[in-house]
A and B are shown apart, each in its own frame.
Chain A
Amino acid sequence: MRDLIVLGGSSHPHLTKQICRNLTIDQGRVSSKKFSNGETSIEVIDSVREKDVYIVQSGCGEVNDNFIELLIMISACKIASATRVTAVLPLFPYSRQPDAPHAANLTGAPSISTKKESYTFESAPSTPRPLSRGSSYFNDSFATGANSSREGLLEKATHNSLRHPVPYTAKSLVTNSASTNITSVDVSSKSDNGYKQWVAQNGTLIANLLTTAGADRLITMDLHDPQFQGFFNIPVDNLYSRPLLKHYIKDYIPNYQDCVIVSPDSGGAKRATSIADSLGCSFALIHKERRAKVAKNPPSTAASSSSSSVNLLNSISMNTTNMVATTMLVGDVKDKVCVLIDDLVDTSYTITRAAKLLKDQGAKYVYALVTHAVFSGDAINRVLKSDIDKVITTNSVPQSEHVSIIGPDNFEVLDISRILAEAIRRIHNGESVSMLFDHGW
């Protein structure tokens, strides 16, 4: 194809190769190295002048490294006079946003029963980090922690001063003593007085960075939030893996009309129902019950006196502290084949719990259909031991390791390179992409 060049980042070289094969073109050559201090060095070897450049990079592995590498590649192509640069991100990095505390407040009564030492963002309960990084990170943070415990008196003083939200004056901040034990202030400010209001929301930032680097267009797949498209000032083509998954259900699940499509949480209900509707299957939903205990004061009537506003702050922070407490199933799955459908599985807590619940309710067989199976940390072992009988995912992130752990009989990988390649071909030729949304390729 004329003037079309596809480059690949280091996150998922196999997918790039597949896409190029489907497009019947040679992959553009890029040399990506690291300087000895850790900075990324990019050299685009093939000429890109007046070319339509597509750069494939998935948001997996070393997320930040890969993202910066993508930005540098985009920028390098732009500087080298490429006509148009399109970033192809099968799995979009930072697509999950931490829930804003005030939003959590609106949806449900916060719980005050459980209390944790350190909070976790509910989208990702704490798993051990992947072992690729050295342990110096942890050593550093422990060292500062040890330092801070020296001066217990000062620590208490700061605790007290921070517990009541006093108006900020210069006086309360400019103290030499406080500067010596920062870590303890950190801990107290998070767990006790609910200062979690200023959680960074990375969506727009990531969008702006891509635009700033020079991306003219984006192709991604099954965005976690469809609203994410709105953060960009450039066109974003969000492709769907739905047709692929539908084909799989139709072709490989025996008597698929009798199976039950299950959404493991309420957020994915829409995705699951649309598949259930088009296949004529029944549908069930697993609801994560977050409120272990209803707060004494309903949040809407609180905030009248100063003491209750403190209470409110507490309960907000607790709400985000709380992980999935109980789950309940809406729908009948007894003696049925269940198909769990989700867009992103990271720690796999949600989906393994859902599978257990389904089996407890008498489900016969549990499939898990997942678009992006990241399986970070020890997630893959959890899936292996769980009640999920078969996992079906796509190669939006490298899956060969996962296949070797779970075994090819219980782990199938669908190829998305054809959809991506067709999208690239259509975008390059200026044809409509919408046909891919419904029919796949």
Chain B
Amino acid sequence: MSTNSIKLLASDVHRGLADLVAKRLGLRITPSELKRDSTGEVQFSIGESVRDEDIFIICQIGSGVVNDRVIELLIMINACRTASARRITVILPNFPYARQDRKDKSRAPITAKLMADMLTTAGCNHVITMDLHASQIQGFFDVPVDNLYAEPSVVRYIKEKINYQDAIIISPDAGGAKRAAGLADRLDLNFALIHKERARANEVSRMVLVGDVSDKICIIVDDMADTCGTLAKAAEVLLDNGAKEVIAVVTHGILSGNAINNINNSKLKKVICTNTVPFEEKLQLCPKLDTIDVSAVLAESIRRLHNGESISYLFKNAPL
């Protein structure tokens, strides 16, 4: 007997966000088991029937074993597909390999496109993601992609927790200027930009500030914080230019490598990330970190998608 109801699936590791979404929707995560055999290959089984159901797979991919998580996800999708699920939606808040989205050198791979192809090949029908590094990645897919924004949640956080009347929004690079400007408009704040010259990936060289930040609370806005070298340097540049304090608000806190040390040693007062990427254990190592919960946005998008309602409301408003 088919009901075509929502079925949530999540892998065993990093299911913090999935649990929050499930709780919000009042659902139970479908029991499933992901095992590795002795060679490291992944074996997956689903604990109940998914025939003709509406499947939502929540997958948090952070740092570390990215490739393992990708394969796990693909196997999960394919398992649902071969088990006759009606529709498979993948919720990938942090899209892996989003930064390799163009052929910037000779013979460089466009891995983001490869990821898109792989997800479609595995059998996924719909992708929900959040704050894609480049929104053009949506075009890599042959299936619908809903790119949600963390901005409404970030706006609420800033309004509630930060004395934002004295603040100024900073974009740490030219690429993120649009995102920062949008947020500045929403908060009716001024906006400044840091121009950086990047020598190599994960390395930062020289920074130039464009705009006046003296005696302001600087809120650096970015979509991704990896090693946090950029943020630390930006904070220094801002404080050198007379800023009162520097706070960073980042959607995807990947925080890999020696990010924690970088943050702890930096002049940043706070680094606020959404929970798209699991970093519970890092919260304990770094008192400057704080979390914005976006599970409500994801849960609401699942509900709307399942019922065939419009999702665009969520682009401007965050559900409480």
Residue of A nearest to B48 (CB): A195
A219 sits at the interface (CB 8 A): no
Contact with A along B1-31 (1 / 0, CB 8 A): 1110101000011110001001100111101
Closest to B70 in A: A68
Chain B residues with Cβ under 8 A from A213's Cβ?
A: 114, 117-118
Please give the residue numbers on chain B whose beta carbons come within 8 Å of chain A beta carbons, in ascending order. 1-3, 5, 7, 12-15, 19, 22-23, 26-29, 31-33, 35-50, 62-68, 70-72, 74-76, 78-79, 82-83, 96-97, 99-100, 103, 105-111, 113-114, 117-118, 120-122, 201-202, 226-227, 254, 256-257, 281
Does B79 lie within 8 Å of A198, measured CB to CB? yes
A112: interface (CB < 8 Å): no
Q: List 7 A-B contacts (CB under 8 A).
A: A35-B256, A37-B256, A38-B67, A44-B107, A68-B71, A200-B43, A209-B74
- Give A138's nearest chain B residue, CB to CB: B13
Which B residues are CB-close (under 8 A) to A76?
A: 107-109
A43 x B105 contact (CB < 8 A): yes
Interface residues of A, Cβ cutoff 8 Å to B: 35-45, 47-48, 59-65, 67-69, 71-73, 75-77, 79-80, 93-94, 96, 98, 121, 123-124, 126-130, 133-134, 136-137, 140-141, 144, 167-170, 173-176, 178-180, 182, 185-186, 189-190, 195-202, 204-205, 208-209, 211-213, 346-347, 374, 376-377, 379
A146–chain B nearest beta-carbon distance, Å: 14
- 5 more A-B residue pairs beyond the given contacts A64-B70, A141-B12, with a C-beta to C-beta distance below 8 A: A36-B256, A39-B96, A129-B40, A201-B79, A201-B82
Q: Is the interface of B mostly helix, strand, loop or mixed?
A: loop
Q: Check B1 against A37 for contact (C-beta < 8 Å).
A: no
Q: A73-B109, A75-B110, A195-B47 are in contact. Are A205 and B75 (CB under 8 A)?
A: yes
- Are B63 and A377 in contact, with the CB atoms below 8 A? no
B22 touches A179 (CB 8 A): yes
Q: Is A168 within 8 A of B257, CB to CB?
A: no
B2 — which chain A residues lie within 8 A by C-beta?
168
Measured CA separation A80–B46 after assembly (Å):
39
Which residues of A are found within 8 Å of B99, using beta-carbon distances?
A: 35, 39
Cβ of A212 to closest chain B Cβ, rounded Å? 4
Name the residue in B42, B67, B100, B122 with the highest tally of chain A Cβ atoms < 10 Å from its Cβ: B67
Contact B202 A36 (CB under 8 A): yes
| B79: chain A residues within 8 A (beta carbon) | 198-201
CA gap between A377 and B1 in the complex, in Å? 44
Question: A168-B1, A170-B5, A200-B45 given as contacts; is B26 within 8 A of A179 (CB)?
Answer: yes
Q: A44-B107, A179-B23, A202-B78 are in contact. Are A121 and B43 (CB under 8 A)?
A: yes
- CB contacts (< 8 Å) of A198 on chain B: these are 45-50, 79, 83
Answer whether A43 and B38 are a contact pair too, CB < 8 Å, given A64-B68, A186-B33.
no
Residue in chain A with minimal CB distance to B66: A38
For the complex, give the distance between the alpha carbons of A128 and B109 in Å: 35
**Least Cβ–Cβ distance between A276 and chain B, in angstroms:** 29
Tell me if A376 and B64 are in contact (CB < 8 A): no
Contact A212 B47 (CB under 8 A): no
Partner of B118, one of A44, A71, A175: A71
A168 and B49: CB pair below 8 A? yes
Give the residue among B31, B49, B65 with the most A Cβ atoms within 10 A.
B31
Assess whether B256 is in contact with A38, with CB atoms less than 8 Å apart: yes
Whether A377 pairs with B38 at a CB distance below 8 angstroms is: yes
> Are B28 and A199 neighbours in the complex by a CB distance under 8 Å?
no
B47 to chain A, nearest CB (A): 4
Residues of B within 8 A of A379 (CB): 38
Give chain B residues whose Cβ lies under 8 Å from the Cβ of A93: 41
CA A321 – CA B45 in complex, angstroms?
14
Tell whether, in the assembled complex, residue A42 and residue B82 are in contact, meaning their CB atoms are under 8 Å apart.
no
Q: CB distance A179 to B28 under 8 Å? A: yes
Tell whether, in the assembled complex, residue B68 and residue A65 are in contact, meaning their CB atoms are under 8 Å apart: yes
Are B26 and A176 in contact (CB-based, < 8 A)?
A: yes
Distance in angstroms between the alpha carbons of A228 and B114 in the assembled complex: 23
